[in-house]
Amino acid sequence: MTSAGLELTILGSGTSTGIPVIGCDCPVCNSKDPRDNRTRCSALVRYAGKTVLIDTATDFRQQALREGIARVDAVLFTHAHADHVHGLDDLRVYTARSREAIPIYGADPTLEAIGKVFSYIFDNDPEAGFIPRLETREAAGPFELFGRSVTPIPLHHGGYPTQGYRIGSLAYLTDCNGIPDASWELLEGLDTLVLDGLRLREHSTHFNIAQAVEKAEKIGARRTLLTHLSHEVDHERISKSLPQGIELAYDGQKLTVADR
Ligand SMILES: [Zn+2]
Ligand SMILES: [Zn+2]
Ligand SMILES: [Zn+2]
């Protein structure tokens, strides 16, 4: 088996409301540019013939139909905010078909919060066909997944801890406005970085675009995608203002991450 790098798909590049925002009449919400149409933030990584989801966003069903996601082999959760977990129930079509549990990884508090929100899944007999069969696995440090090491990257999201993930030379860091000192060494030698860059104005729990650009330049990945974008971000206009190697993510974007 060769190590042919990773295939990354941006399933959703939008902030928690999705774009367009319900009832909003702003230029971005009215934009005809498909890159301004953003479902809730999530990504898909494919390697070694396996499909690994990062979060199950509110729009997961729509994303799975759009991208033809025929199977899900594992889910990595960044945190338990609604926009990142509310698509969880739709995993049941996969486990009903395969009759195998899907492992879901996350920090302990994240798994605990998911267990509370979706108590009907975790309190019921998984043989019941109307709930997904899931197996929770705490991701407190690096672990092996389908032949590759996956490293959780602790992050600050306001006062709330979240974690990004590094797989090979890809790092996916959403929902953050601070990178703790100990996390920097986990981000060396990246090919591709996906980083939270909510909007132009500052925010109490997310990097804005200027802060994300500054962090991205310090991290120094070959290519950086900014994600979790709000309706203040006009793709065409803001893209032109970004330095080389840094771009805005968009729904359905696919790229190959080279091994470094
Ligand atoms: Zn979010
Ligand atoms: Zn708007
Ligand atoms: Zn969040």
Backbone angles phi, psi at 115, to 5 degrees: -60, -35
CA of 76 to the centre of ligand 3 (A): 14
Phi and psi at 24, nearest 5°, equal -95, 140
Task: Mark out the alpha helices in the chain (DSSP H runs).
Answer: 60-67, 82-85, 92-98, 108-117, 119-122, 181-184, 209-219, 235-239
Cβ distance 175 to 157 under 8 Å? yes
Going from the Cα of 127 to the center of ligand 1, the distance in angstroms, rounded, reads 31
Mean pLDDT by 10 residues, the chain (260 residues): 77 98 98 98 98 98 98 98 98 94 98 97 81 96 97 97 97 98 98 98 98 98 98 98 98 93
pTM for the model stands at 0.97
Name the closest ligand to CA 41.
1
Q: To which H or E segment does residue 10 belong?
A: strand 6-12
Q: Which residues surround ligand 2, an ion (CB under 5 A)?
A: 21, 24, 26, 29, 231
Ligand 2 centroid vs 145 CA: distance in angstroms?
Answer: 39
Of the listed ligands, the closest to the CA of 14 is 1
158 Cα: distance to centroid of ligand 3 (angstroms) = 9
230: three-class secondary structure by DSSP: coil
Query: How far is ligand 2, taken at its centre, from the CA of residue 23, in Å?
Result: 8
Ligand 3 centre distance from Cα of residue 208 (Å): 14
Query: What residues does the ion ligand 3 have nearby, CB within 5 Å?
Result: 81, 175
- For residue 12, the ligand closest to its alpha carbon is 1
Expressed in angstroms and rounded, the spacing between residue 84 Cα and the centre of ligand 1 is 6
pLDDT at position 189: 97
CA of 133 to the centre of ligand 2 (A): 37
The pLDDT assigned to 127 comes to 72
The Cα 49–Cα 193 span in angstroms is 22
Res 4: pLDDT: 66
CA of residue 54 to ligand 2 center, whole Å: 26
Closest among 251, 248, 235 to 67, alpha carbons compared: 251
Torsion over CA: 69, 186, 5, 149 (sign)? negative
Ligand nearest, relative to CA of residue 25: 2
Ligand nearest to the CA of residue 23, numbered in listed order:
2
